[in-house]
């Protein structure tokens, strides 16, 4: 395990090696990886495994994160403007203070996700599972809600009005 840590790899609970130094690519396995502050603008990570990873202050602007496994992943203060998270599993993910302006969460699993003070202006939650998601002090202005018809009023904080 010490050699794995020195090489930048992590051994997740599943017993599968994560390639924490692998380049950004569709399907990459970054489970349990520490990637805080890294630039990932306009990358294609469709189907990637980011579960239990740390991406605080990372920049994902314009990236494709469709169908990722992002369970319990930390995106504190991440810049995620225009990111496509359609169909992603983001149960228990933490987006505290993240900028998700214009992000798409269409059909995503956001059960128990935390969006404390997140910017979600113009985000699309059509068909998303928001059970027990926490939007305390989040800016939901202009966001499209789960039914795909309701658009949150300007100034919507903590809940869609």
pLDDT digits (tens, 9 = 90+) for 143-156: 999 999 999 999 99
Could you give the angle at the alpha carbon of 22 between the alpha carbons of 18 and 23, nearest 5°? 140
In a domain, 7, yes or no: no
Torsion of CA 90, 91, 93, 96, to 10 degrees: 100
Average pLDDT, the chain: 93
What predicted TM-score, i.e. pTM, was given to this entire model? 0.89
pLDDT in tens, 72-126: 999 999 999 999 999 999 999 999 999 999 999 999 999 999 999 999 999 999 9
Confidence of residue 23 (pLDDT cuts 50, 70, 90): very high
CA–centroid distance for 33 within its chain: 14
In a domain, 113, yes or no: yes
Domain that holds residue 60: 25-160
In a domain, 61, yes or no: yes
Tell me phi and psi for residue 29, to 5 degrees: -105, 100
pLDDT score recorded for residue 15: 42
Tell me how many domains the chain contains: 1
What mean pLDDT is predicted for residues 129-135?
99
Strand ranges inside the chain, DSSP E: none
pLDDT score recorded for residue 7: 46
């Amino acid at each position: 395990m010490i050699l794995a840590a020195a090489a930048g790899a992590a051994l997740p609970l599943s017993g599968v090696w994560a390639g924490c130094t692998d380049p950004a690519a569709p399907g990459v396995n970054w489970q349990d990886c520490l990637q805080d502050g890294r630039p990932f603008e306009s990358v294609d990570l469709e189907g990637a495994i980011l579960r239990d990873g740390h991406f605080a202050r990372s920049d994902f602007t314009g990236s494709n994160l469709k169908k990722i496994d992002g369970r319990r992943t930390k995106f504190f203060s991440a810049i995620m403007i225009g990111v496509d998270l359609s169909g992603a599993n983001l149960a228990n993910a933490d987006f505290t203070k993240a900028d998700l302006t214009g992000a798409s969460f269409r059909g995503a699993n956001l059960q128990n996700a935390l969006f404390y003070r997140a910017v979600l202006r113009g985000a699309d939650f059509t068909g998303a599972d928001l059970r027990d998601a926490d939007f305390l002090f989040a800016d939901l202005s202009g966001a499209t809600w789960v039914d795909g018809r309701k658009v949150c009023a300007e100034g919507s904080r903590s809940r869609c009005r």
